[in-house]
């Protein structure tokens, strides 16, 4: 059954994954795996309020247990329906435990305290060592060394061990009566919350039981005793653990180069999957240099906003970052490798692929906080922390990193920063194209593009012979079969791009001249233009080229689709044109080339670019033929 762990405090950095593994093993050892448990990691404030409400001691404490059943020591409940499978709630005073953990071993202290709280859910009660020793106690439920020898009275809420005496009349937050649910024949639901003012506090401990934890191995009860940590447990005979691969790139890099880096990392993941169970965590989108629409929050954007996740999963296993947080139990990345070039550079001669752990050349974009955790950008997730950061000098293709990840680190989550330093394993081969074909645009964006084509460009898949299969693995189109809509598709790159490409980028007048010649040559009357030109240039284009059509979103559409979604819509429309011409060495144009190759267009209508007025040798783009 489910184990829910809710972190209701932020003062102490907490790794939920080790705690989840420990408590799962504890439940198994106590024979209680089939029962639900809610574990709340609370701060001093919440523990003070609970302790005051149920023990009349408004002070922080280490653990408060609230059983859902009245049991004799060591007895398991006998459920009659689903609701009675809830064993109870355990509140851990994380701040209190952190202050009193021996040697600063917070994980070990949390494990021991959680074990003690679980024992109380199973009916074990004590206020003195002698009381505890008189019970038929499990070896797992040994009393802490600091339980006082003196008196007190038993109750459901466990006192802080050491210096807070118990108080009378302690009651659980939630008590299930003799009946359990309406679905049980002949019984009515009986549930009593003793203090209505504390119902909100109760909700902190009861999360939706939606994600059952990994199956824990059935350990013998003697394997776990008070004072043991999860690292001291015997190895579990459970399914192989999942390791998580994360990555990021240099912040100035744009949307379309990042898509190319994804293809390189996907190749690395395929290599890793030959040896271990890995999954790729998709880096959230945000804060891209070219996304400059004002007054729109564009951070922490999931991939599903732009791409079809099931399609990606038909190629490699991927999950969104939010899902990684849920599965791993907390916002921690265990190992971060910052990829860099070799300080000595590449020496002329035979190309050599190599990778070494080296001192960092540039200043790290990570800083340590007071808890010795690394803080950084992390896609806008400020709560994310890194546990270890080091630099790797790399020269070679993506899979050269695989031995490092398989042999040099046992970290469950590994992030490769500056992943653009890796090269493709096999550029243009079958593996490359499989990954590229799996990068299907999100359907809602494709629908917007299709409706625009139909309304403004008289373009439909049937008329254009661009039939599309939602399952990319079943889509194999013969080159030259697609006709395209009755319009010219243009990508005209401007802004900062022209500063570094003065020779091979035309002026607006030169671009308009080329567009008019193409319209005449292909007997077309409309031209769709995707461009990042500034407003003044747009107005000039409208005067020089009245036939121009653009996707100009309303404010509502811009807020909904964001700059990344608009780029996808522009590319989708350009990809369906009768003829396409793009900008020299622009990754935006490259992605359109690939999309048209997938749709089955004649290469002569696809691999074309504008030439600069002063350019002497206007070499056209290379045709990268699709491989199935």
Quick check: 5 and 19 in contact, CB under 8 A?
yes
Other C-beta atoms lying within 10 Å of the C-beta of residue 3:
23
CA angle 620/625/627 to nearest 5° reads: 160
Residue 54 structure tokens: 């149920």
DSSP alpha helix (H) spans, 576-623: 587-599
Q: What is the DSSP letter of 215?
A: P
β pairing state of 243-247 and 413-417? parallel
Phi, psi of 504 (to 5 degrees): -105, 15
β pairing state of 354-358 and 389-395? antiparallel
Quick check: 87 and 76 in contact, CB under 8 A?
no
Phi, psi of 498 (to 5 degrees): -70, -20
Helix (H, G, I), strand (E, B) or coil at 51: helix
| CA separation for the pair 53, 197 (Å, rounded) | 10
Q: Is 602 exposed, middle or buried (0-12, 13-18, 19+ CB in 10 A)?
A: middle
Residue 203 structure tokens: 């909700």
β pairing state of 191-193 and 174-176? antiparallel
Q: Closest Cα partner for 236 from 220, 257, 256, 258?
A: 220
What is the residue whose two structure tokens read 């994980």?
A: 107
DSSP alpha helix (H) spans, 410-524: 430-438, 443-457, 461-464, 497-500, 508-521
Q: What is the DSSP letter of 62?
A: S
- DSSP states of 470-494: SSGGG--PPTT----EEEEEEEE--
Q: Closest Cα partner for 12 from 106, 152, 151, 132?
A: 106
Bridge partners of 285, per DSSP, are 301
CA angle 464/520/486 to nearest 5° reads: 15
| CA separation for the pair 551, 529 (Å, rounded) | 8
Q: Which residues are catalytic?
A: 253
253 sits in which H/E element: none
Cα separations in angstroms, 109 against 46, 92, 98:
19, 11, 8
Cα separations in angstroms, 612 against 2, 537, 608, 620:
64, 17, 13, 12
């Amino acid at each position: 059954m489910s184990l829910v762990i809710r972190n209701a405090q932020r003062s102490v950095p907490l790794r939920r994954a080790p705690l989840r593994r420990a408590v799962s093993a504890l439940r198994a050892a106590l024979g209680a795996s089939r029962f639900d448990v809610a574990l709340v990691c609370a701060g001093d404030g919440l523990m003070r309020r609970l302790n005051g409400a149920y023990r009349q001691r408004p002070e922080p404490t280490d653990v408060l247990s609230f059983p859902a059943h009245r049991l004799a020591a060591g007895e398991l409940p006998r459920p009659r329906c689903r609701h009675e499978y809830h064993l109870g709630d355990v509140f851990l005073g994380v701040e209190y435990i952190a202050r009193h953990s021996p040697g600063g071993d917070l994980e070990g202290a949390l494990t021991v305290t959680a074990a003690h709280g679980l024992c109380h859910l199973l009916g074990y009660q004590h206020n003195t060592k002698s009381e505890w020793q008189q019970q038929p106690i499990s070896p797992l439920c040994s009393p802490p060394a600091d339980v006082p020898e003196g008196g007190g009275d038993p109750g459901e809420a466990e006192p802080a061990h050491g210096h807070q005496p118990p108080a009378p009349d302690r009651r659980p937050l939630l008590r299930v009566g003799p009946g359990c649910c309406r679905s049980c024949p002949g019984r009515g639901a009986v549930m009593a919350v003793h203090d209505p003012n504390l119902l909100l506090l109760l909700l902190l401990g009861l999360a939706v039981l939606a994600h059952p934890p990994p199956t824990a191995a059935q350990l013998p009860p003697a394997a776990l005793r008070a004072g043991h940590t999860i690292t001291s447990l015997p190895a579990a005979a459970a399914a192989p653990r999942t390791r998580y691969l994360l990555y990021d790139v240099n912040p100035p890099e744009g949307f379309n180069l990042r898509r190319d880096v994804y293809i390189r990392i996907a190749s690395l993941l395929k290599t890793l999957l030959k040896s271990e169970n890995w999954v790729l965590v998709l880096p959230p989108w945000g804060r891209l240099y070219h996304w400059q629409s004002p007054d729109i929050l564009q951070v922490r954007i999931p991939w599903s906003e732009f791409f079809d996740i099931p399609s990606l999963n038909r190629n490699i296993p991927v999950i969104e970052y939010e899902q990684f947080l849920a599965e791993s139990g907390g916002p921690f990345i265990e190992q971060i490798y910052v990829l860099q070039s070799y300080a000595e550079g590449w020496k002329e001669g035979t190309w050599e692929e190599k990778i070494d752990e080296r001192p960092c050349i540039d200043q790290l974009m990570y800083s340590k906080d007071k808890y010795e955790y690394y803080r950084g950008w992390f896609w806008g997730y400020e709560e994310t922390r890194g546990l270890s950061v080091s630099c790797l000098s790399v020269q070679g293709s993506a899979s050269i990193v695989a031995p490092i990840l398989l042999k040099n680190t046992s970290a469950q989550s590994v992030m490769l920063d500056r992943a653009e330093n890796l090269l493709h394993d096999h550029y243009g081969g079958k593996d490359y194209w499989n990954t590229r074909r799996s990068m299907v645009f999100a359907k809602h964006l494709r629908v917007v593009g299709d409706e625009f084509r139909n309304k403004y460009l008289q373009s439909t898949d049937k008329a254009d012979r661009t039939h599309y299969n939602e399952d990319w693995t079943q889509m194999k189109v013969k080159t030259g079969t697609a006709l395209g809509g009755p319009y010219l598709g243009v990508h005209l790159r401007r802004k900062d791009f022209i500063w570094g490409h003065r020779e091979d980028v035309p002026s607006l007048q030169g671009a308009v001249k080329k567009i008019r010649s193409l319209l005449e040559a292909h007997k077309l009357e409309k031209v769709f233009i995707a461009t990042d030109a500034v407003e003044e240039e747009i107005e000039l284009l409208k005067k020089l080229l009245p036939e121009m059509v653009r996707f100009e979103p309303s404010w509502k559409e811009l807020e909904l689709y964001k700059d990344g979604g608009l780029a996808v819509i522009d590319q989708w429309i350009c990809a369906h044109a009768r003829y396409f011409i793009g900008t020299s060495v622009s990754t935006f144009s490259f992605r359109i080339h690939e999309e048209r190759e997938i749709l089955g267009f004649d290469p002569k209508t696809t691999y074309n670019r504008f030439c600069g007025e002063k350019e002497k040798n206007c070499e056209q783009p290379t045709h990268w033929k699709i491989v199935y």
